[in-house]
Amino acid sequence: MADEEPADDVELEARLAEQEVFEPPESFVEQANVTDEGIYEEFEGNWPECWESAADLLSWYEDYDQVLDDSNPPFYEWFTDGKLNASYNCVDRHLDERADEVALEWIGEPVDEANRSITYEELHREVNEAAAALRDLGVGEDDVVTMYMPMIPQLPIAMLACARIGAPHSVVFAGFSAEALATRMNAADSEYLLTCDGYYRRGDPLDHLDKTNEGLADVEHDVETVVVDRLGSDGFGHELTDDQHDYDDLLAAHEGATVEPVERDAEDMLFLMYTSGTTGEPKGVKHTTAGYLGWTAWTTKYALDVKPDDTYFCSADIGWITGHSYIVYGPLALGTTSMMYEGTPDYPTRERLWQIIEEYEATQLYTAPTAIRSFMKWGAEYPANHDLSSLRLLATVGEPINPRAWKWYYKHIGGEECPVVDTWWQTETGGHMVTTLPGINDMKPGSAGPPLPGLDVQIVDTHGEEVEAGRAGYLTVQKPWPGMLRTLYNNDQRFIDEYWAEYSETDSDDSDDWVYFPEDGAKIDDDGYITVLGRVDDVINVSGHRLGTMEIESAIVGVEGVAEAAVVGGEHDLKGEAVYAYVILEEGHEGSDEMRARIVEGVEDAIGPIARPEEVVFTPELPKTRSGKIMRRLLEGIANEEELGDTSTLQNPDVVEDIRGKTGDD
């Protein structure tokens, strides 16, 4: 806590609190992959050919004819008629120089210390054997293969094996329910599944095959299933059925097999990813081979500054897009060492992540604001016990990061010597879109930064006109980019409706009339730095004023003693909507009237009396989706005293009733 810190730390804290702009550390700039700020102008003047720089990071069987075919917007095609294979690009081509270097550094749950350092040569062998086994099971080019696995090495290996034989994968996050698995398999007509017997969580074995089988019972067609044995003797003793095959047996039967990588067209589908959409049918986001792989490689190199000799650590789960793009495809395309961690950051102790970074001498850490807020809540003493000096760059993704958490990350994890890159992007964009380039741009905590070179991002009003600097509007992307989704699987119309209809002239075949709308609110400052305010469905309207719930949350989290906050709109007779704030406090702080007053004051100070919370509810937890996103809609339901419907898909369903009991009782 601040009052126990030595005097120089207090001074430093005060200075940090004031500072709004941070220059990239010189030691970083000296070695950065890109340092020439001319890149912005150069890309703008040479668009779309500038994106040859992404294609140039890949190895091709046949060169492409055209960088961009925009003749049928919004169905853009990139690097047309080029031929390549993603598995070749992520594995084979590194063998000449890096066969003995580690490709995947797998750190298992501490319980059985089943760590594996998988070299490129070993990865090549196992990907080939898996590809041969899948082919023998009947998997053909363009068959969708579903994967329902936690953070075990067989997951990226299976993804690369599929890429090798031209079978798109559809990874379903292992924490999702049986029903979610079935819905996705049915939607994609997927006849193949890779899963596992179970896995460890905080030292205890979990039965995953039972959940898998429950899901399979609801799949409308026959499925061949491959089961990885993760638990060994800790397993649950399931007998495999006739259409269930043991992964190790299959690989043993294909020992030493090699499979020629299939020459895929640039625009052939690499994978499908269903977004966890809180309502309605999940959206099957389709990504293609060249544009996606080029985009992830380019952004991994330039925004995350990854080099082949790095030991790069992204703490996301491969079941989400961040893990696809920034644990598997981007890093492996560059031939670096990518770490993957099976466990949680606080098991067996709150030092786990820092101990791993120290032990493996990780050079980058890419994590999410929600994790950083937990680290803050636990306290700086845990990272302080470890030598984190191997870190060169820190990154965040997933939601806006409030300046206080940014500065904590910068100071306590980066030792003020690592740039922090705040990367705004989505499942649909394939990779980063708005972020500083760490060797070029100054950083402004809370603002993701300028759009990447070659991207035309504008903040517009409801009519699509650009808003003035400082005013809230809607984030739009006015020109296509290689990593973009190509459509929603089997649903071109929904693709247009969800992402384009809002700001495009949808009867036009001139690509200038088409504007991509990611459904985020944002504002831009005089330097062109973009602050993302959150999903526009999270914007609330208080007395005719539009307020970003994220902005209010940021203000609340800025109050000393607050760990996390979620703000929603509740109906209000006079104001239309009023601000309801749900707040988690740091350990050692109490939900007193005094604290409530400080929170209200913090919001009034940061935004104005208009954003003053009607109610502040202290709670030990917030309802979160399995992916860790706060379920604001549920909180809105509580604030408005509505029926809440099914809450069983939450990470923590019990917290809902607890919060409901506390809302409106003071």
Q: Which is nearer to ligand WTA, 329 or 382 (CB)?
A: 329
Sheet of 169-171, strand order: 244-246, 224-228, 192-196, 145-147, 169-171, 269-275, 283-288, 487-488
Q: Is 535 in the site for ligand WTA (CB under 6 A)?
A: yes
Q: Is 532 in the site for ligand WTA (CB under 6 A)?
A: yes
Residues 279-338, interacting with ligand WTA (CB under 6 A): 321-322
Phi and psi, residue 162, nearest 5°: -65, -45
Q: What angle separates helix 120-137 from helix 154-165, to the nearest 10 degrees?
A: 60
Q: Decide if 307 contacts 331 (C-beta within 8 A).
A: no
431, 435, 439, 444 alpha-carbon torsion, rounded to 10°? -160
Region of residue 305 (left: phi > 0; alpha: psi -120 to 50; beta: else): left
* Minimum distance of ligand WTA from residue 427's CB (angstroms): 3
The one-letter amino acid at 62: E
Rounded CA separation 500/478 (Å):
10
Q: Is 73 in the site for ligand WTA (CB under 6 A)?
A: no
Q: What number of chain residues touch ligand WTA (CB under 6 A)?
A: 19
Stretch that binds ligand WTA, among 20-28, 105-113, 530-538, 614-622 (CB under 6 A): 530-538
Q: Is 443 in the site for ligand WTA (CB under 6 A)?
A: no
* Minimum distance of ligand WTA from residue 314's CB (angstroms): 11
Q: Decide if 24 contacts 438 (C-beta within 8 A).
A: yes
Stretch that binds ligand WTA, among 296-304, 381-389, 397-405, 635-643 (CB under 6 A): 397-405
Among 425, 500, 503, 517, binds ligand WTA (CB under 6 A): 425
* Minimum distance of ligand WTA from residue 368's CB (angstroms): 8
Q: Which is nearer to ligand WTA, 78 or 499 (CB)?
A: 499
Q: What angle separates helix 593-606 from helix 549-557, to the nearest 10 degrees?
A: 120
* Minimum distance of ligand WTA from residue 71's CB (angstroms): 28
Stretch that binds ligand WTA, among 74-82, 299-307, 395-403, 601-609 (CB under 6 A): 395-403
Q: Decide if 475 contacts 448 (C-beta within 8 A).
A: no
Residues 354-393, interacting with ligand WTA (CB under 6 A): none
Q: Decide if 483 contacts 439 (C-beta within 8 A).
A: no
Q: Which is nearer to ligand WTA, 555 or 585 (CB)?
A: 555
* Minimum distance of ligand WTA from residue 639's CB (angstroms): 21
Q: Which is nearer to ligand WTA, 108 or 330 (CB)?
A: 330
Q: Is 427 in the site for ligand WTA (CB under 6 A)?
A: yes
- Beta bridge partners of residue 566, listed in sequence order: 582
Select the residue whose beta carbon is closest to ligand WTA and give its number.
Answer: 427
Q: Which is nearer to ligand WTA, 144 or 532 (CB)?
A: 532
* Residue bearing tokens 């490129």: 120
Tokens of 25: 């550390």
Q: Which is nearer to ligand WTA, 167 or 477 (CB)?
A: 477
Among 318, 420, 448, 562, binds ligand WTA (CB under 6 A): 448
Q: Which is nearer to ligand WTA, 434 or 579 (CB)?
A: 434
Which residue, 502, 476, 499, 479, is CA-closest to 487? 499
CA atoms within 13 A on the CB side of 169: 30
Q: Which is nearer to ligand WTA, 152 or 401 (CB)?
A: 401
* Minimum distance of ligand WTA from residue 647's CB (angstroms): 20
The one-letter amino acid at 167: A
Alpha helix segments (H runs only) across 265-408:
289-302, 321-323, 330-333, 352-360, 369-378, 381-384, 403-408
Stretch that binds ligand WTA, among 233-241, 345-353, 487-495, 527-535 (CB under 6 A): 527-535
Among 173, 424, 500, 529, binds ligand WTA (CB under 6 A): 424
Q: Is 422 in the site for ligand WTA (CB under 6 A)?
A: yes
Q: Which is nearer to ligand WTA, 291 or 591 (CB)?
A: 291
* Minimum distance of ligand WTA from residue 498's CB (angstroms): 12
Stretch that binds ligand WTA, among 156-164, 304-312, 529-537, 634-642 (CB under 6 A): 529-537
Q: Which is nearer to ligand WTA, 228 or 413 (CB)?
A: 413
Q: Is 631 in the site for ligand WTA (CB under 6 A)?
A: no
* Minimum distance of ligand WTA from residue 448's CB (angstroms): 5
Contacts of range 464-469, beta carbons closer than 8 Å, 24 or more positions apart: 464/503, 464/515, 467/523, 467/524, 469/523, 469/524, 469/525, 469/526
- Measured in residues, the chain has a length of 666
* Minimum distance of ligand WTA from residue 81's CB (angstroms): 30
* Residue bearing tokens 């305010």: 533
Rounded CA separation 307/364 (Å):
10
Stretch that binds ligand WTA, among 124-132, 358-366, 532-540, 558-566 (CB under 6 A): 532-540
Q: Decide if 567 contacts 611 (C-beta within 8 A).
A: no
Q: Decide if 197 contacts 216 (C-beta within 8 A).
A: no
Which DSSP category does 586 fall into? P
Stretch that binds ligand WTA, among 18-26, 185-193, 398-406, 591-599 (CB under 6 A): 398-406
Q: Which is nearer to ligand WTA, 129 or 636 (CB)?
A: 636
Q: Which is nearer to ligand WTA, 120 or 517 (CB)?
A: 517
Q: Is 502 in the site for ligand WTA (CB under 6 A)?
A: no
Q: Is 520 in the site for ligand WTA (CB under 6 A)?
A: yes
Among 284, 453, 518, 623, binds ligand WTA (CB under 6 A): 518
Rounded CA separation 431/77 (Å):
17
Q: Which is nearer to ligand WTA, 358 or 520 (CB)?
A: 520
Rounded CA separation 405/396 (Å):
11
Q: What share of the chain is helix, strand, coil (3-state, %, to 5)?
A: 35, 25, 45
Radius of gyration of the chain (CA): 24
Stretch that binds ligand WTA, among 90-98, 129-137, 196-204, 394-402 (CB under 6 A): 394-402
**Rule CB under 6 A: which residues touch ligand WTA?**
275, 321-322, 397-400, 422-427, 448, 518, 520, 532, 534-535
